[in-house]
Amino acid sequence: MTTLISQETAQDIDQWLMDPSGGAFSIDQLMELAGLACATALQKTYQPCTHPKVLICAGPGNQGGDGLVAARHLWHFGYQPTLFYPKQTDKDLLFGFSFHGEPRPPFDAVINALNETTKPILSVDIPSAWDVEKGNVSGTFTPDSLISLTAPKLGSKSFKGTHWLGGRFVPPHIAQRFKLDLPDYPGSEQVRVLKETARTYDQGWPTAYGMHSPWISTQKGFASRSTTSLEDMHRLDSESNSESDGKSDARRNL
Ligand SMILES: NC(=O)C1=CN([C@@H]2O[C@H](COP(=O)(O)OP(=O)(O)OC[C@H]3O[C@@H](n4cnc5c(N)ncnc54)[C@H](O)[C@@H]3O)[C@@H](O)[C@H]2O)[C@@H](O)CC1
């Protein structure tokens, strides 16, 4: 049984991963590995032949940084990613294990949009606006898929969709220190499926949906092709809905 961890433990592990006597990772290295795991989980759930277009909703914290990395990997995997990044910061999906309280602007409107969409959503670590330990207590959207990083959070206990775990970066001594029971990652796998639903691997999503396709090669080019306003996000949504290529997309929120 994979260990479920609290918000505080998640934050402690994060510190240990970056401590010289712990994992000794830099934040950039961790984001690179986390972003690769997120992109890999998305690829295993929604393949580019059926879901070529991906909208990445990136927040202001480290999870937003995972989103930037994931977008680059997704492009290399053959997707057409578009980035919605309303609050760009220097280090930088919406929120991860540091989310608390009610979503504040401009993210409250983004959560509402995710609430209304019929498109598949892959959330990262904990679905945005869910309580990290109690889950969906505010009655907001439930994603179709979730990728937990390091170890699943307590709030994901009742999640019924396809559930991935990414976190090959946790050294054994940190797993032991925090008494984490984690699955092995066979071969070169970056992710493990904890729970699979019948919808995984493209059983067919009902609606056609598309997105603009930015050319993403560097973070600079990447950021300049991102969208920062909610109006842009809705515009992309309506334009893509008018496409009739029979393809559906995946959204991910980080
Ligand atoms: N060790 C790990 O497991 C790793 C974690 N990473 C990612 O980093 C995430 C945690 O990063 P952070 O600690 O930066 O936290 P978050 O990415 O959860 O974001 C924190 C930011 O969100 C804002 N915020 C919090 N509550 C809000 C609210 N109600 N309304 C509006 N804004 C709000 C805060 O002001 C802060 O700017 C994890 O969930 C994971 O995705 C990876 O980057 C690296 C490895």
**8 A C-beta contact, residue 125 and residue 96:** yes
In a domain, 218, yes or no: no
Nearest CA to ligand 1 atom 33: 99
Q: Are strands 121-124 and 80-84 parallel, antiparallel or unpaired?
A: unpaired
Q: How far is CA 118 from CA 18, 84, 103, 122, 207, in A?
A: 38, 18, 21, 13, 8
**8 A C-beta contact, residue 119 and residue 209:** yes
Burial letters for 76-109: b for 16+ Cβ neighbours within 10 Å, e otherwise? ebebbbbbbbbeeeeebbbbbbbbeeebeeebee
101 CA closest ligand 1 atom index: 29
ipTM comes to: 0.94
User: Is residue 94 lining ligand 1, measured as CB closer than 6 Å?
Assistant: no
* % pLDDT > 70, the chain: 75
Amino acid identity of residue 213, one-letter, is S
Gap from CA of 125 to ligand 1 centroid (Å): 9
Gap from CA of 93 to ligand 1 centroid (Å): 9
30 CA closest ligand 1 atom index: 44
In a domain, 241, yes or no: no
In a domain, 124, yes or no: yes
- Tens digit of each residue's pLDDT (9 = 90 or more) over 14-71: 999 999 999 999 999 999 999 999 999 999 999 999 999 999 999 999 999 999 999 9
User: Is residue 190 lining ligand 1, measured as CB closer than 6 Å?
Assistant: no
Nearest CA to ligand 1 atom 15: 98
Q: Give me the CATH number covering residue 82.
A: 3.40.50.10260
pLDDT band, residue 234 (cuts 50/70/90): low
64 CA closest ligand 1 atom index: 17
In a domain, 200, yes or no: no
- Tens digit of each residue's pLDDT (9 = 90 or more) over 194-205: 987 754 433 332
In a domain, 221, yes or no: no
In a domain, 43, yes or no: yes
In a domain, 242, yes or no: no
Residue-number span of the structural domain to which 184 is assigned: 7-195
Amino acid identity of residue 156, one-letter, is S
In a domain, 235, yes or no: no
Token output for 195 = 């729970």
Nearest CA to ligand 1 atom 42: 31
Q: In the predicted model, what is the mean pLDDT of residues 125-130? A: 95
Total structural domains within the chain: 1
